[in-house]
Structure 1
Amino acid sequence: MNKVDWHKNQIDDATIITDSYKTTQNVRRYFKAKFGEDFSFNRDFMQWMHSAVGLTMSDACDEWIQRQQRKN
């Protein structure tokens, strides 16, 4: 699995979540571009991201949407 610099690499839907995942401003910008200002990290979602090694950022978006739907 290629190492991702979560601070600098361009992140897109196909980016694989690696064991070096970090919650960075770059990641936050990616999610805000997808979901607008409604996006925010919470502890549970951050833990999910760290356990999602091998999944894609598109999968992470799907997970965030599901969490938002369960919340409402």
Structure 2
Amino acid sequence: MRSRTAVGSPVAASGRKDMKMKSFDWHAAPISRATAITKSYRNTQNARRFFIKECGGGFEFDRPFMAWLRDGVEKTMGDAADEWLRREAEKRQ
């Protein structure tokens, strides 16, 4: 028997999360500063549009930033935009 939590994610009758939950659709789902970066994160055109909106037209993915995005530490897309801007400011010093 399955039930749904307030946010709509399936949970087993035992209260544990169902391991078959859908991952975030990085290609099509709306992205905001509050969007959590999940294990399924991908550098999609949708993600790029978000970063250009938040960071400006000079935004580019680079290897150190991409590694930071996927380092396993919980963060949001807003955190990522702020980090990219911090790194860019550091380059200009």
1:36 maps to 2:56: yes
After TM superposition, the structure 1 = structure 2 runs for residues 1-72 of structure 1, keeping only pairs within 5 Å, are: 3-72=23-92
One-letter amino acid of the counterpart of residue 32, structure 2? D
Q: Tell me: higher relative CO, structure 1 or 2? Use CA pairs within 8 A at least 6 residues apart.
A: 1
Shift of the 37–60 alpha-carbon distance from structure 1 to 2, 3 Å rule, reads same
Number of aligned residue pairs: 72
SS in 2 for 1:44: helix
One-letter amino acid of the counterpart of residue 39, structure 1? F
Q: Which runs of 5 or more residues in structure 1 are unaligned?
A: none
Does the CA-based 8 Å contact 1:14-1:56 persist in structure 2? yes
Does the CA-based 8 Å contact 2:34-2:76 persist in structure 1? yes
**Which of the pair is proportionally richer in strand?**
2
TM-score (norm 2): 0.70
CA distance in 2, matches of 1:36, 1:68: 11
Does the CA-based 8 Å contact 1:4-1:18 persist in structure 2? yes
In terms of Rg, which structure is larger? 2
TM-score (norm 1): 0.89
Deviations 1:11-70 (A, max 9, x none): 000000001111111000000111221111111111111115521111101111110111
Structure 1 stretches of 4+ moved >6 Å: none
One-letter amino acid of the counterpart of residue 4, structure 1? F
